[in-house]
Chain A
Amino acid sequence: MFLEVNMVTAALVIVSLLIASSNLEAQMKKGEVVATVEGDPMYFVLPPGTIPAITAPVFVSGDEANRQMADDEPVLGIVVGNEASAYSLWQLDAHEIVNDRIGDVPIAVTW
C-alpha cells in the first residue's frame, strides 16, 4: 500500500487516520501532536471516524464485478488458502480499512 508517512528531520512521524472515537482528538487541529511514540511526535490529521472503515464488507462474484470494474482499475488482491479476494483501491480511497475474514482468518485490509 502507499503510505502517507512523513519525516521531520530525524523524527519519525506517524500519521494515523483514526477510526475509533476519542474525545480529546475530536477537538484537535491538523498538525497538533497527539502523542509521542518512542520520542517521535505523532501528528493529528483528521477527527476519528472521518474516513469510515468498512466493518461489514459485502462481496460479489467476478462476473458481477466485471460490470462495475474498469479493466485497468487498481485492486489489492490476496489469496488465503484456496480463496482469492480483491478490493478496488478506488473504493478503498474512501474507507482505507476493511475488517474482513477469509475462511477462518480475520484480516484487516489497509490502504
Chain B
Amino acid sequence: MDRETESYWSHITGEALLGEMKGKHLKNMPAVHTTWSRWIADHPQTRVLKKDKTVSSSQYENYFKDPDKVGIFRAEWLKERLPAKKLVHGLTHGPHALAVTAEKLEKDHLIQTELDTGGVIVVKNTDGGVRAYSTNVDKTTLTFNIGDSPGVFKDAGTGSSWDLGRGECTGGALKGKKLEELTVTAAFWFAWSGFYPNTAVID
C-alpha cells in the first residue's frame, strides 16, 4: 500500500489493484537473490543495508523447508504440474509467462528458449544471481553456449564473448552490444502459477 493514496499494489506484477492508483504500474527492476560472500566478491564496492543488531537468522526457515506449508491460509493451487513448493525462476515476455525450475537451471547453467515474442535466456551468474535477457539483437536471435572461463558465454553465430552478468558483449564481432535484461522472480510454484496460470514450464 502506498502511504500517499492508500492504494493496494501487487508486489509481483507491480500493478495497483485498488484505490486511486488502480491500473498504474511500477517498473519492475531486475534484482537477484544470492549469498553475501558471492555478492561481495563480484561487487566489492557495494553499499549494504545496515542490519539491526539482533538479526542473525531467517524467520522463515521452517516455512521454506515444509512442503505442506503453502501460503498463509490453507491454499489450493490451480496447476499440479509441479509440487506446490517447488522453487522456480519466473519471467514474463509480452503476454507470455515462463517458469524454469531452480534444479533445471542449476543442472544446465543456461536455459534458452524461443517464445513467439522472441528468444529469452536464463543464466546463473558468477555472483550466484539468476538473470534473464531477451536474446534478440538487431533483429537476430542469438544462441549462446558456455565459454571457456566462468562467467563467459559465446554466441554461436559469431563466437563473440559475452558477460551475461551484465548482458554485454565484451569481445569479438558483436563487442559493445547489449542484451535487454528481463526481470526474473524467484517464487514457489504455487505462487507463480497462481499469478500466471498459463505459464510455460521448463523442468
Contacts and interface: CB of A to CB of B under 8 A. Distances in A.
A62 to B, nearest CB: 5
B60 A93 contact: yes
Closest 7 CB pairs of A and B: A3-B191, A6-B71, A65-B48, A84-B43, A84-B46, A71-B37, A6-B75
Interface residues of A, number: 66
Contacts of B139: none
A19 B32 contact: no
Given A48-B1, A87-B49, A7 B127 contact: no
Chain B: number of interface residues, binned into ranges: 35 or more
A75 B160 CA distance: 32
A66 B71 contact: no
Interface string A2-26: 1111111110111110111010000
Interface of B: 1-3, 6, 8, 10-12, 17-18, 26, 29-37, 39-40, 43-52, 55-60, 64, 70-78, 127, 129, 185-188, 190-192, 194-195
Contacts of B70: 6
20 contacts: A1-B187, A2-B186, A6-B71, A8-B73, A13-B73, A20-B1, A22-B6, A38-B17, A58-B49, A65-B36, A69-B48, A70-B56, A75-B39, A76-B31, A77-B43, A77-B129, A78-B32, A86-B48, A89-B33, A91-B52
A37 B17 contact: yes
A70 B77 contact: no
A43 B77 CA distance: 16
Given A74-B58, A86-B48, A110-B11, 17 more contacts: A1-B186, A6-B70, A7-B78, A13-B73, A20-B1, A62-B40, A65-B36, A69-B48, A75-B33, A75-B36, A76-B31, A84-B47, A86-B47, A86-B49, A88-B55, A90-B56, A90-B58
